[in-house]
Homo-oligomer: A and B are copies of this chain.
Amino acid sequence: MLVTTAKATHAQTRRHNNRLVLQTVYDQSPLSRADIARATDLTATTVSTVVGELLEEGLVQELGAVSTERGKPPTLISLNKDARHILALDLSRKVFQGSILNLRGEILHRQYSPLQNKNGKDALAVVHKLLRDLCQATTTPLLGIGIGAPGIIDPNNSVIRQAANLGWYNLELGELLTQEYGHNVQVVNDTQAILLAENLFGTYKNSSDMVVIRIGNGIGAAIMCNGQLLHGNGSGVGEIGHVVVVDGGERCTCGNDGCLETIASSRAVIQQAKALAALHPGSALNQLTQDGDPITIETVVEAFRLGDPVVEPLVTRLGYHLGNSIAHLVSVVGTPRILLCGGLTELGKPLFDTIRFETRRRCLTARLTEPEIGIVTLTTNLSDLVVMGAAATLLTNELGLFW
């Protein structure tokens, strides 16, 4: 168990009060100094001092006074959401996204750079190009740089332990970028970034327990318990896609056979759909790709919507295996809420019903906890979610918000 060994000094108290006031303004602004004092239980003098410091830093601003029935009208304080901007990158898709965000996590600017199957140093060059372009696109002082990256990340040290698709192993990305750009850099796993975005800006703001599962070419879970994101310092927390669920199954990218990803990832579903299309010439899968287009997740979703009987068992199998893995996950962390994301979620209610059925059927904890199993709430644009979450890590680490 963690033993607190730090001394509770005046400096700590001040930092704590500072955070408390900023968080209060962040959550409830506009509000007067008296409102802040009421909300925080701090004395008027302390609030006045802290607000003075925050005004000086430009993080909050004074709005006009509100008229009251009598007495001097109080001046309202609000967050100056554009006092600092954040550069954030999503490196989890084939086209990297770079964005500029404000302190509310609002995306002010997006640009893209296709990876074109590059890896290693070449992939890193794409990162640099995006960051240089973003630096040129803003004149606002920066809070820092947030990176959402695929694979196994040590977020404490901003090291990418393993991102197979990018050919990055033990890449000290944080230190590298800090040296190059002179800003604070936070690197976080892409699925964990999505969870942070949902947890800080989404419908389930400030939930202390939730899980996000991203189903793309990989399958990974981000897990928050007791208000803490499990990250395991690069130990592979949430790598549920790489557990063998079919003994002697197909070869996985991780080198193993029969992992969940060999059955339930986008890549696996497309492969299964191709095999089915070849066996069933009359399938909607073939009608939808008559122009020689390849079968994509969108094709599968559309064929399923059209009621193609060939696709139906594929969706059932998908739900069965996802439900099974989620049952194991729920039995371990007993979470009340699981949000899925990725193109396959477009299969909609029938897929979710199968997942829910299997999860409940296979797991006592799920019957007790009755976890909500749904879809992410903010947007289905995953790159936007990743940059929002990556930006959020800066808000936490640099401003002490949300912690």
A residues adjacent to B (C-beta < 8 A): 1-9, 12-13, 16-17, 19-20, 23, 27, 40-42, 152, 161-162, 199-200, 206, 208-209, 221, 223-230, 232, 235-240, 242-244, 254, 256, 259, 325, 327-329, 331-336, 361-365, 368-369, 396, 402-403
Which B residues touch A336, using CB under 8 A?
A: 235
Give bound CA distance, A227 to B229, whole Å.
12
Q: Is the CB–CB distance between A364 and B20 below 8 Å?
A: no
Counting from the closest, the 6 A-B pairs by CB-CB distance are A242-B364, A236-B365, A2-B227, A328-B328, A235-B334, A237-B334
Residue of B nearest to A220 (CB): B331
Q: Is the CB–CB distance between B240 and A332 below 8 Å?
A: yes
Q: Is the CB–CB distance between B254 and A364 below 8 Å?
A: yes
Name 16 interchain pairs, CB-CB below 8 A, sorted by A: A1-B208, A1-B402, A2-B206, A4-B403, A5-B20, A5-B40, A221-B332, A235-B368, A238-B332, A239-B331, A240-B328, A243-B327, A243-B364, A244-B361, A244-B362, A328-B328
Which B residues touch A331, using CB under 8 A?
A: 236, 238-240, 242-243
> Which secondary structure dominates where chain A touches chain B?
mixed
Give bound CA distance, A334 to B152, whole Å.
11
Given contacts A208-B1, A332-B240, contact A42 B362 (CB under 8 A): no
Which B residues touch A334, using CB under 8 A?
A: 230, 232, 235-239
Residue of B nearest to A361 (CB): B244
Give bound CA distance, A12 to B5, whole Å.
15
The minimal Cβ–Cβ distance linking A134 to chain B, given in whole angstroms, is 27
Q: Is the CB–CB distance between B1 and A243 below 8 Å?
A: no
Give bound CA distance, A206 to B5, whole Å.
13
Which B residues touch A259, using CB under 8 A?
A: 364
Which B residues touch A206, using CB under 8 A?
A: 1-3
The minimal Cβ–Cβ distance linking A150 to chain B, given in whole angstroms, is 14
Which B residues touch A327, using CB under 8 A?
A: 243-244
Given contacts A329-B332, A333-B333, contact A232 B209 (CB under 8 A): yes
Give bound CA distance, A296 to B369, whole Å.
35
Give bound CA distance, A223 to B223, whole Å.
14
Neighbour of A230 across the interface among B1, B200, B225, B232, CB < 8 A: B225
Q: Is the CB–CB distance between A333 and B365 below 8 Å?
A: no
Q: Is the CB–CB distance between B363 and A243 below 8 Å?
A: yes
Residue of B nearest to A152 (CB): B368
Give bound CA distance, A2 to B369, whole Å.
21
Q: Is the CB–CB distance between B4 and A19 below 8 Å?
A: yes
Q: Is the CB–CB distance between A363 and B244 below 8 Å?
A: yes
Give bound CA distance, A365 to B7, whole Å.
37
User: Known pairs A232-B333, A236-B331. 20 more at Cβ < 8 A?
Assistant: A1-B224, A2-B226, A2-B227, A4-B20, A7-B40, A8-B12, A8-B16, A8-B17, A8-B20, A13-B13, A225-B230, A226-B228, A239-B334, A239-B365, A242-B365, A243-B331, A244-B361, A256-B362, A328-B332, A332-B332
Q: Is the CB–CB distance between B208 and A403 below 8 Å?
A: no
Give bound CA distance, A227 to B363, whole Å.
26
Given contacts A16-B4, A227-B2, A333-B232, contact A368 B240 (CB under 8 A): no
The minimal Cβ–Cβ distance linking A196 to chain B, given in whole angstroms, is 8
The minimal Cβ–Cβ distance linking A33 to chain B, given in whole angstroms, is 16
The minimal Cβ–Cβ distance linking A61 to chain B, given in whole angstroms, is 22
